Amino acid sequence: MIKSGKSKTIVFIGSGAIATSLGNILAAKSENKVVLLSIEHEVVDAINQAHTNSKYFPNFQLHPELKATGNMEILQEADMIFLAIPSVAIVGYLKSNQTYISKKAVLVNLAKGFGNDFQLIPDWVNANMSNVMATMKGPSFARDIINGQPTGFTIASTDPSCFPVFGEVFSKTIIHLDYSTDVQGVEYASILKNIYAIVIGIVDANFDSPNLRSLILTKAINEMRSLILRFGGKSETMFNYCGFGDFSLTALNDLSRNRTLGLLIGKGFFTKDISEKVVLEGRIATNVFYEKLSQTIDVDAEYRLMSELYGVFNKDCEIKSFVDRILKD
């Protein structure tokens, strides 16, 4: 693994919003070589020639030291590789391109979701690759990062010797870090928050009530904490940036796709026809968790919010009585 105190080659797999915004921050540090690895040739050309990413930040001038390439061989040079493509694509990508990836590189999962067969991505990497694996999650809208707003992330790894490297890489930037060895808890928190953001969206669509919102937020946090514990995580993870921070960002801001989905459901715009066509992280995660939990427990009794949301997606439950049902003792 790379040691602290030397220049680093940092590669982002992907050229989307989060890769571009974080890459732009790191490229401003002269000791870093930062490259976005992309299959989108027009994006590569625009970043290298015009220093723009017109697909995601058309009006923003990127740092001239941020580079892009379509050449997989850059992975052989990398000290850190950030996985910034959709979670369901990561395992397949790593399988196909494993021979390019330097064994010294620290792999960093930025995706918030399950990998193949609903396996956590770090679990697959640890079972199939020798690289040090970390996950990086937090309340992080890419728009705010690209505009220089301070942003918090949790770095989680079962190998805490990599933590000083992250501290060095992100030192003197807008990125603030906390650390955890609870990889399971951090990964599950980043998935669960999408479920409960939909719930908050449904509630807010029907009641503009700070009291009620805070009541449901509290119930949601308790369900998340209980689920993290049930799946092998630690209770204190809810108090890292990846926990309460990321959940509050996703649940309370209209830039969040899953909160927006909840608002649409609550207003009656999410019909069965649309439901069959729309795929969002929170909807997928709701079904996965409910169906797994229902094999061993009474989900309605232990996780009322999740159970009622599952009913909305799968049983045509009446939306007008949604709040009454989740408040039922």
Active-site entry in 193, 219, 272, 292: 193
Q: Where does the chain hold its CATH 3.40.50.720 domain(s)?
A: 8-181
Residue 7 pLDDT grade (very low, low, confident, very high; cuts 50, 70, 90): confident
Q: Known catalytic residue: 193?
A: yes
Confidence (pLDDT) at 84: 97
Contact 221, 215 (CB under 8 A): no
Contact 309, 286 (CB under 8 A): yes
Strands (E), 14-167: 32-37, 66-69, 80-83, 106-109, 133-137, 151-156
Confidence (pLDDT) at 252: 97
Residue 15 scores a pLDDT above 80 = yes
62 Cβ neighbours under 8 A, 6+ residues apart: 20, 24, 27, 47, 51, 52, 53
Taking only the tens place, the pLDDT of each residue in 214-266 is 999 999 999 999 999 999 999 999 999 999 999 999 999 999 999 999 999 99
Domain 8-181 has CATH 3.40.50.720: yes
Element (H, E) at 57: none
Confidence (pLDDT) at 217: 97
Taking only the tens place, the pLDDT of each residue in 20-78 is 999 999 999 888 899 999 999 999 999 999 999 989 999 999 999 999 999 999 999 99
Pairwise CA distance, residues 257 & 142, whole Å: 13
Neighbouring CB atoms inside 10 A of 293's CB total 19
Pairwise CA distance, residues 83 & 93, whole Å: 10
Confidence (pLDDT) at 318: 82
Confidence (pLDDT) at 319: 86
Record the pTM.
0.93
Residue 88 exposed, middle or buried by CB count within 10 Å (0-12, 13-18, 19+): middle
Taking only the tens place, the pLDDT of each residue in 138-177 is 999 999 999 999 999 999 999 999 999 999 999 999 999 9
Q: Where does the chain hold its CATH 1.10.1040.10 domain(s)?
A: 185-327
DSSP category for residue 53: B
Beta-strand pair 133-137/106-109: parallel
Beta-strand pair 133-137/151-156: antiparallel
Architecture of domain 185-327: Orthogonal Bundle (1.10)
Please, how many CA atoms are within 13 Å of residue 118, restricted to the half-sphere of its CB? 11
The amino acid occupying position 214 is S
